[in-house]
């Protein structure tokens, strides 16, 4: 019980810090940065910040890194790089709100996959929580607002949903001696390098004008918001999210990840002065209610079978999306 409570706290912290990215990256995008460039540097900064901590934690346990090599590569190439690429490919063709809404259906995808693979219908509280959380997500995101819904854009958005779900499954796998910080550091560095390579060869736009940007009512060098996002909203957030996923399992962790959308709306209201509407507040409450329903599922053998990845007990470790909230 104590481990679960701690996992819930860490997951909320992860969502709160992930949600910072949109408010701090938006000025860079408005200054001419391409999303791919911002995400690439964000990932590399986060990974490099975590790297010294990861090296200390994994010292003497290099075999764990080798045993977890496929998990690291999956996190890097799917959880970080591929998910980002298909998400931004989607937002080039369909409205941002619609793309975010589709991507954050990952928790529902995990519930559906568990239903199909185990041939056991999820408990009523899980189904009710899924519906309530989805309604809340629609209210917070408010999809639409122009743009054609072409099939290719919808296909890219659907792929981002799969990538987000895979991220939580990979994050929740038993650690087998690999510290969450090491997984986050390796995944971010390798994923960032992969994203940078894709941008440099011209597959996606890669623009990064080194200009001052408005931040908190003043002009700041471009690297200030980037460092904030890289260190807090990427390095710490990924390490915390992976730690929480190992403790809670992929299903509950993915539902708690919906709080990132709520946090992003709050940061945009506080830092950017964007309107926070009554439907958005109501949506945030519904997301919390949906999480509570999923959390209330009793820990029976049937409940264990209903999860895609079963949570494992781990020791907590110390670590140090507007359109860009996508990450997972």
DSSP string, 57-124: HHTT-HHHHHHTHHHHHHIIIIIIIIHHHHHHHHHTTS-HHHHHHHHTTHHHHHHHHHHHHH--PPPH
- Distance between CA atoms of 170 and 246, rounded to whole angstroms? 9
Name the DSSP letter for residue 231.
I
DSSP state of 218: E
Q: Give, for 213, the enclosing helix (H) or strand (E).
A: strand 213-215
Measured in Å, how far apart are the chain's first and last C-alpha atoms? Answer: 27
Average pLDDT over residues 15-43: 91
Spatial separation of the C-alpha atoms in residues 318 and 181, rounded to whole Å: 8
- Judge contact between 247 and 8, C-beta under 8 A: no
Among 18-22, 109-113, 127-131, 142-146, whose mean pLDDT is lowest?
142-146
Using CB atoms within 10 A of its CB, is residue 158 exposed (0-12), middle (13-18) or buried (19+)?
A: middle
Query: Token pair 């509280």 is at which residue?
Result: 125
pLDDT in tens, 226-243: 999 999 999 999 999 999
Residue 316 has pLDDT above 60, yes or no: no
Give per-residue pLDDT as tens, 237-283: 999 999 999 999 999 999 999 999 999 889 888 888 888 889 889 99
């Amino acid at each position: 019980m104590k481990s679960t409570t701690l996992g819930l706290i860490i997951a909320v912290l992860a969502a709160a810090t992930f949600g910072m990215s949109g408010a701090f990256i938006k000025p860079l995008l408005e200054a001419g940065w391409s999303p791919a460039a911002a995400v690439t540097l964000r990932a590399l900064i986060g990974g490099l910040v975590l790297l010294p901590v990861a090296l200390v934690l994994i010292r003497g346990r290099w075999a764990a890194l080798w045993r977890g090599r496929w998990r690291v590569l999956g996190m890097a190439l799917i959880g970080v790089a591929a998910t980002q690429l298909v998400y931004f490919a989607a937002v080039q063709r369909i409205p941002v709100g619609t793309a975010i809404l589709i991507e954050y259906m990952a928790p529902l995808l995990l519930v559906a996959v568990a239903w199909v693979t185990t041939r056991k219908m999820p408990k009523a509280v899980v189904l009710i929580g899924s519906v309530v959380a989805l309604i809340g997500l629609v209210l917070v995101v408010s999809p639409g607002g122009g743009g054609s819904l072409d099939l290719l854009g919808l296909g890219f958005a659907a792929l981002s949903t799969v990538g987000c779900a895979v991220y939580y499954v990979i994050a929740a796998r038993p650690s087998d001696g690999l510290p969450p910080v090491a997984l986050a550091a390796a995944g971010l560095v390798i994923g960032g390098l992969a994203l940078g390579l894709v941008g440099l060869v011209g597959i996606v736009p890669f623009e990064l004008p080194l200009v001052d940007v408005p931040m908190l009512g003043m002009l700041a060098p471009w690297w200030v918001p980037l460092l904030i996002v890289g260190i807090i909203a990427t390095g710490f957030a990924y390490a915390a999210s992976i730690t929480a996923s190992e403790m809670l399992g992929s299903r509950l962790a993915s539902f708690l990840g919906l709080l990132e959308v709520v946090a992003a709306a709050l940061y945009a209201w506080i830092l950017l002065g964007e309107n926070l509407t009554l439907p958005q507040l109501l949506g945030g409450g519904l997301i919390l209610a949906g999480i509570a329903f999923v959390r209330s599922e009793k820990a029976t053998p049937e409940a264990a079978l209903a999860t895609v990845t079963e949570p494992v007990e781990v020791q907590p470790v110390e670590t140090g999306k507007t359109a860009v909230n996508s990450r997972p």
